[in-house]
Chains A and B, each alone.
Chain A
Amino acid sequence: MTVRSGFIALSSLALVSLVMLVGSPDEAYRWVDQSGAAAVVTVIIAALGFAAAGPGRASLGIAAAVVAFAAAVVQLAGLTDGGLLGGNGSTFAFLLGLGIGYAGLAVADRLQPQHT
C-alpha cells in the first residue's frame, strides 16, 4: 500500500458506507448510521481524501482529517438527541476512524523519505 492508494481506499470506504445506508432500510444491516447531514459531511471528507491522492496534494489529507475530527466532536456532543448531524454513536465512531485514517496517511506522507 502507498499513501496515494491509502487515500483512495479510505475515501472509497467512506462512500461505500453511504451506499450501504441507501441500500439498507433495516437498521440491522446498516453498519453505520448517517443521516442527511452526516452523509453530506462524509461526501465532503471523501472528496478531500480523493483530492489528497493527487501528486503533491497530501496536505489535503490534513484538511480531510480536520473536517472528520470536527464532525466527530459535533456528533459526540449530540449523542443524546442526534445533534446537528442527526447521527448516533456509530456515526461518531466512523467519523473518528476517518479522521484517524486521513491524519495517519498525512503523517506517513511527511515521514516517508522517498519523495520524488
Chain B
Amino acid sequence: MSSATRTETPVAGSLADDRLARGSVVAVRIVFAFLWIQNVRWKTPPDFEALAAFTGFAVEHPVFPPYSAVVESLILPNIGLFGWFVIATEAAIGAFLLVGLFTRFWALLAVAQSFVIFLSVGLTPEEWPWSYYLMMGVGLLLAGTAAGRVWGLDALLRPIWLTRNTKTAKWLARAS
C-alpha cells in the first residue's frame, strides 16, 4: 500500500470511543469473572473429592501424556495441597477480573489456567473442548483490550502508576 493510499483511507473508529464496544468489554469481563467465581464453589477441602475426579481425567483420557504423568505421580497424590492452590488461583482470577484490577495479568493467568484445565479434560467423553478454547479466547480478548480500563480499577489507578518513575509502578502499569 502506498503512502498516498494510506493517507486517503478513512480512519476507522477507535474501540475506546465506541460506547457499545466499551460496554461489551465490561460485560464480558464481569461475566467471565463470575465464571471463575462460581466454579470455586465445588472445590471443597480437605479432600477435594470432585476436583480429584476431574483432574484424574487427565490420566484416564490423556491429552498430553507428559502432563498426565505429572498429574498421576505428583498432583493426585498431593491433591490436598494442590486443591488449595487451585482455590487461590481461581478465586483471585475471579476477584481481580470482577473489579478490573491488574486485568491484563489476571486475564493471561486465566488463559494459562484454562489451558491446564483443557489438558485435564480436553479428550474426556461428554466434555466440550470448545468450552476451553472459548475460555482461552475470552482471556486473550480481555488482556488484549486491557478490559480493566473501562469501568475497572485500572482506569483509576493506571494513570497514577504511569506518573511514577519506579520499577514497581512500571510493572503495575504493564499488568493493567
Report if A and B associate in a common complex: yes
Interface residues of A (CB under 8 A from B): 1-3, 6, 9-10, 13, 30-33, 79-80, 88-90, 92-94, 96-97, 100-101, 104-105, 107-108, 111-112
Min CB–CB distance A112 → chain B (angstroms) = 7
Main secondary structure of the interface of B (DSSP, over half): helix
Q: List residues of B whose CB falls within 8 A of some A CB.
A: 30, 33-34, 36-46, 87, 90-92, 94-96, 98-99, 101, 150-153, 155-157, 160
A105 to chain B, nearest CB (A): 7
| Shortest Cβ distance from residue B30 to the other chain A in the assembled complex, whole angstroms | 8
**Cα distance A111–B43 in the bound complex, in angstroms:** 38
Q: Are B37 and A90 in contact (CB under 8 A)?
A: yes
Are the C-beta atoms of B151 and A9 separated by less than 8 Å?
yes
Residues of A contacting B151 with CB < 8 Å? 1, 6, 9
A94 to chain B, nearest CB (A): 5
Contact A101 B38 (CB under 8 A): no
Shortest 7 CB-CB contacts between residues of A and residues of B: A89-B40, A97-B95, A101-B99, A93-B91, A108-B156, A97-B98, A104-B153
25 CB < 8 A contacts A-B: A1-B150, A1-B156, A3-B156, A10-B99, A31-B37, A32-B34, A32-B38, A88-B44, A89-B42, A90-B38, A90-B39, A90-B40, A92-B87, A93-B36, A93-B37, A94-B94, A94-B98, A96-B95, A97-B95, A97-B96, A100-B96, A101-B98, A101-B99, A101-B153, A104-B153
Task: Find chain A residues with CB under 8 A from B46 CB.
Answer: 80
A108 close to B36 (CB less than 8 A) = no
A46 to chain B, nearest CB (A): 14
* Secondary structure call for the A interface: helix
Separation of A111 and B92 alpha carbons in the complex (Å): 24
State the Cβ distance, B130 to closest chain A Cβ, in Å.
Answer: 19
Contacting pair A6 B153 (CB below 8 A): yes
B37 to chain A, nearest CB (A): 4
Q: Are B44's CB and A97's CB within 8 A? A: no
Contact B99 A93 (CB under 8 A): no
Q: Inside 8 A of B42's CB, which chain A residues have their CB?
A: 88-89
Q: Is the CB of B37 within 8 A of A97?
A: yes
CA distance A90 to B153 in the complex (A): 21
Closest to A101 in B: B99
The answer to whether residues A31 and B38 also contact, given A101-B153, A104-B153 and a CB cut-off of 8 A, is yes
Question: What is the distance, in angstroms, from B88's C-beta to the closest C-beta of chain A?
Answer: 10
Residues of B within 8 A of A89 (CB): 40-44, 87, 91
